[in-house]
Structure 1
Amino acid sequence: MLKKTMKSLPTLLTFSLLLTGCAVSTNDNSDDTVTISVASGFARNHSNNDGLWMFVDKLEENAPWINIDFKGGPEVMASNLLIEGVAAGVFDIGVLPGDYYVDQIPAMELARFTPYTPMEERENGVLETYDEIHRDQLGITYLGRAVAGMPQVILSRREITDLDLHGDSYRTSSATSNMVITLGGVPVDLPGNEVYTALERNVVSGATWASVGPSSLGLEGVVSYDVAPRFYESVANIVMNERSWDQLDQRTQDALVDTIAEVEPDIFAHYLSKTIEETEQWHAAGVQEARLSEDDSRTLLELAYVDAWEDLDWDRILSTSPAAARLRDAYDTNDSELTFDRVPGGSFISDTTDLVEELK
């Protein structure tokens, strides 16, 4: 629907692209600077932008004619509107999680279920499927991952010894609300900057969060336990307005694609290492790992990857994104195949440590 609106407003789109300053080179051998505007769903110095800056730094080495003009984070456009800003050409590139635009592309509900690293998704055709879905629905080119390797973790004021949250309230995201409900808890929608106070005042009993980030809010000072195993994958995407992409010369397109592919392993390893460092920081502050029994751990994974998968609104997902059937086939599993390495970033912190060693 947004794509049809875009087609009816060519003058606005042209004006928007001029505003962004996307000076596209038309000659593969040209030395002209190509300026590409970028906005993020995260504040400039947020840890979730680390992957973006790794990409930008590598791009400066590989393609010095490309100038990345960072316009800002949520202060320039609300995170939940950023995907529409990219679709309309207000920014050439956006960096944001798929969870931020499941209303526009319901198939992005599937991203957290991925059992693959970004490198594997690039090799097995998953990336091409995401690109097709983004192009068909929003007129956007999907380029790759800016964040990966950060599983979700439950942080709690009290020790969790089984799969029962006893009706306690937990701050959740859209990715984890259903899991908290399934475990008998009550999800609470809170802005990140209010979570510390809510925990300190016992308004909520805990929070679900990506395994990198809680320390930036000081949450290790107001929770006592981090639950293992961890589940799902926290990812953010690099997407580009399709018209901006099509105006780029071949050399510049190749540089963007090749550089993202080159830096994704480093991004993945970076967030794995940050996960380990941050967990050590929690534990040094007195937080303890609440490791579930092996049976409960397997049940938790089944709830996350089998039950929650089956409960997705598949009719809506497939009717709006028929290509999502390929993602369903790529990600689907059954109980007998479900193992703890289902989580690309590691179900347990020891798994994450092993992954880092393998990538060295």
Structure 2
Amino acid sequence: MSQRFMKRLLALLLVPLVVTGCASRPPNDSNGEVTLTLASSFARNHSNNEGLLMILDELEKRAPWIHIDYKGGPEVMAPNLLIEGVSGGVFDLGMLPGDYYVDQVPALYLARFTPFTPAEERENGVADIYDEIHREQLGVTYLGRAVSGMPMVVLSRNEISSLNLHGKSFRTSAATSDMVSQLHGVPVDIPGNEVYTALERNVISGATWASVGPSSLGLQDVVSYDMAPRFYESLANLVMNEKTWDALDERTRNALSDTVADMEMPVFNHYLSRTIEETGQWHEAGVRESRLNDDDAAELIRMAYKDAWDELDWDRILETSPAAAKLRDAYDVPLENGGFDRVPGGAYMADTERLLKEDAS
């Protein structure tokens, strides 16, 4: 990371954490300055905040009249309540995964299936569909992706040589529990900060995780394998209270929307790079890649993107989010060449490295 980026990170993390409501005050003052409050669903030093900080760093350069008052992470509002905090005006801005509010908006179950990069989602209108869904159901504006380019990976104490986890327990998230079940494993709901101990004591056999983050918990010391191929996208969204958005002047709205849009691919590539870096750290620590054979690998991708897709509760999704029909049409593309290109961040490390090199060239 650049020195400027690290300074920005340090400055942001040192902001006092004081929660104040924002719905009762206008965001613009008489001098044209704009102050917006922001909360994240992740702890201050979490790697998932890095993309957010990249966006804020660029916003500061482009729009110095916009001041972001960072309030904190889970210590100021529980992550599963943050979307309501933004919708209700406790915070102007929030950064959180869609998985954290699928109960309110079942259409967000679809996000992990995206075959597109953030730039492609803007080009083909998918980003506009997400904005429509967020406005209609939550009263918030969807600004874009603050985390992307991180596929999900299965970490295991034992080698995975087939599509059968043999009834072993794996810590999962909402995004991966169905996949573990399809692989004949047992999904277990364990808080992230307890996973190391559960693996160390052999309470669970493994864990599913985004490809960036396990090292921060030391998981490379208590697992022996990372499964390939990887699948799905680990995503987080930057959203804004709709009333606050509507109260902003056009210059400020354009600065916010343009900055987020322009930074989505740098953020995507940042997490591609971090994926490569972290996987290298695992392997240096002795973790080995548990690579499925070609047939099983293609079947895993089919299970993730066809079977799991078909088994979604479409009646509930479409009833609560009619615009999800447009997402379904956009995401429902054929699996070609084994389906490995379906994973935006790369099903294999070679794919991730290639994607990063293509962008650099």
- Shorter chain as denominator, the TM-score bin is over 0.9
2:158 paired residue number = 158
Shift of 1:44: 1.3
1:135 paired residue number = 135
Counterpart-to-counterpart distance in 2, 1:246 and 1:233 = 31
Aligned partner of 1:17: which letter? C
Write the mapping of 1:46-85 to structure 2, written as runs, cut at 5 A: 46-85=46-85
Aligned partner of 2:78: which letter? A
Aligned partner of 1:72: which letter? G
Change (3 A) 1:201 1:66: same
Shift of 1:337: 6.9
1:12 paired residue number = none
Counterpart-to-counterpart distance in 2, 1:337 and 1:314 = 27
Shift of 1:16: 3.5
Shift of 1:334: 3.7
1:318 paired residue number = 318
Shift of 1:262: 1.3
Counterpart-to-counterpart distance in 1, 2:262 and 2:326 = 25
Counterpart-to-counterpart distance in 2, 1:355 and 1:309 = 25
1:23 paired residue number = 27
1:98 paired residue number = 98
Change (3 A) 1:55 1:336: closer
2:243 paired residue number = 243
**Is 1:329 matched up with 2:329?**
yes
Tell me if the contact between 1:22 and 1:35 (Cα under 8 Å) persists in the aligned partners.
Answer: no
Tell me if the contact between 2:150 and 2:212 (Cα under 8 Å) persists in the aligned partners.
Answer: yes
Output the aligned Cα RMSD: 1.3
Tell me if the contact between 1:59 and 1:255 (Cα under 8 Å) persists in the aligned partners.
Answer: yes
2:11 paired residue number = none
Secondary structure of the 1:207 match is: strand
2:198 paired residue number = 198
1:359 paired residue number = 359
Change (3 A) 1:22 1:266: farther
Shift of 1:235: 0.4
The answer for unaligned runs of 5 or more in structure 1 is 1-14
Tell me if the contact between 1:121 and 1:127 (Cα under 8 Å) persists in the aligned partners.
Answer: yes
The number of residue pairs the alignment matches comes to 341
**Is 1:189 matched up with 2:189?**
yes
Counterpart-to-counterpart distance in 1, 2:245 and 2:261 = 17
Aligned partner of 1:269: which letter? N
Tell me if the contact between 2:170 and 2:206 (Cα under 8 Å) persists in the aligned partners.
Answer: yes
TM-score, structure 1 as length reference: 0.93
Tell me if the contact between 1:151 and 1:210 (Cα under 8 Å) persists in the aligned partners.
Answer: yes
Deviation per CA, 1:155-206: give whole Å up to 9, x if none. Answer: 0000000000000000000000000000000000000110000000000000
Counterpart-to-counterpart distance in 2, 1:22 and 1:299 = 53
1:122 paired residue number = 122
Tell me if the contact between 2:178 and 2:308 (Cα under 8 Å) persists in the aligned partners.
Answer: yes
1:280 paired residue number = 280
Shift of 1:31: 4.9
Counterpart-to-counterpart distance in 2, 1:239 and 1:17 = 15
2:109 paired residue number = 109
Tell me if the contact between 2:36 and 2:69 (Cα under 8 Å) persists in the aligned partners.
Answer: yes
Counterpart-to-counterpart distance in 1, 2:246 and 2:233 = 31
Counterpart-to-counterpart distance in 1, 2:103 and 2:354 = 37
Counterpart-to-counterpart distance in 2, 1:156 and 1:296 = 17
Counterpart-to-counterpart distance in 2, 1:293 and 1:141 = 43
Secondary structure of the 1:116 match is: coil
Shift of 1:141: 0.3
2:88 paired residue number = 88
Aligned partner of 2:238: which letter? I
Deviation per CA, 1:20-57: give whole Å up to 9, x if none. Answer: x65225xxxx8521000000000111100001100100
TM-score, structure 2 as length reference: 0.92
Tell me if the contact between 2:23 and 2:244 (Cα under 8 Å) persists in the aligned partners.
Answer: no
Change (3 A) 1:248 1:359: same
Shift of 1:336: 5.1
Tell me if the contact between 1:16 and 1:88 (Cα under 8 Å) persists in the aligned partners.
Answer: no
1:304 paired residue number = 304
Counterpart-to-counterpart distance in 1, 2:28 and 2:90 = 16
The answer for unaligned runs of 5 or more in structure 2 is 1-19
